[in-house]
Amino acid sequence: MSRIGKKPVVLPAGVTAKVSAANEFSVKGPKGELSQSIDRDITIKIDGDQILVERPTDQIRHRALHGLYRSLIANMITGVTTGFKRELELVGVGYRAAVTGQQIDLALGFSHNIIFELPKEIKASALAEKGQNPRIILESNDKQLLGAIAAKLRSLRKPEPYKGKGVRYSDEIVRRKAGKSAGK
């Protein structure tokens, strides 16, 4: 058995979950509603306040999907109860971010500003405190979408290893390299 897959997912109070006939798992809570299509081989049983994920055989494919869907369901439940948050830091002289509605206006050292359109499921805010690097805070109830958007923002200007300039996650550690050594 998968160690992750066999653990039941606990449904907190105020959260409702259901599985449709088309193997569509949906969960609804105070922070919104999420749904995920489940592979037809994997079965999901809702037993009171617990959700159990079961697989038919010990095939490698079934074992892989078992843990995957259990993790996805657990993340969905966490998302609709507490939500997820990702913080990005802009390191570099003149790097700025401004949020207006569902758009982020980024000045990342290019000849032009980058305007990034956010999906409606994500809320963003920009912080620029004196003496600190500008930060972008992304919040959502969908962990997959939040991670994808944060990765896309980071890819606009990845942190470089010599000066550490670029867009990085706030908990990311950038390995620094020594520059050219002078003389012979």
pLDDT band at 184, cuts 50/70/90?
low
Residue 123: the pLDDT is 95
Q: Angle, nearest 10°, between helix axes 143-155 and 60-81?
A: 90
What the chain holds in terms of domains, given with CATH numbers, is 9-81 (3.90.930.12), 84-169 (3.90.930.12)
Q: What is the pTM of this model?
A: 0.89
Residue pLDDT, tens place only, 122-161: 999 999 999 999 999 999 999 999 999 999 999 999 999 9
